[in-house]
Amino acid sequence: MKKCKICGKNAQSDYCFVHKLRTPIKKTKIRLGVGSYKQAKIRDNYNAQCDMFTKLWETMSIPRMSQVSGTYLGSMFSTIFFHHILPKSKYPEAMLDVENIVILSGDEHANVENDMYKYEEINSRREKLRKKYSL
């Protein structure tokens, strides 16, 4: 077994793991500019969703409460409170549909992401949306 030239610890080569020479990570050049059509569409969808969420937040009665449990959400706007009942990836036509949004607390949102059938309110809305979109 070899010993590290710097600290004297056991090593597989001339240096131990701590002192072995490392090759620097290659830096890639980032192209600045307009970007692809797909990137622009994703950005536009995100901006449209944020606008919709902001309008929904502003039109909610104060105090703002979860639509599932009635938990107080506070006065600070956050996108964590908004959940798409029909997933955006599978149903892009329902992405900007206000009826497809349910307002939840952060914990409820995490619960619904782990188990989409956890809350009866969301299940009933999902059935209405399936009828609306003929799914």
Residue-wise pLDDT for 76-113, tens only, equals: 888 888 999 988 888 888 888 889 999 998 888 988 98
d(CA 88, CA 111): 18
Residue 56 lies in a domain: yes
Number of domains in the chain: 1
Q: Are 132 and 98 in contact (CB under 8 A)?
A: no
Question: What is the C-alpha R_g of the chain?
Answer: 25
Q: Which domain holds residue 103?
A: 37-132
Residue 3 lies in a domain: no
With a cut of 60, say whether residue 69 has pLDDT above it. Answer: yes
Q: Are 56 and 82 in contact (CB under 8 A)?
A: yes
How many CA atoms within 13 Å lie on the side-chain side of 102? 26
Q: Are 10 and 16 in contact (CB under 8 A)?
A: yes
| Mean pLDDT across 7-20 | 82
pLDDT for the residue 127: 92
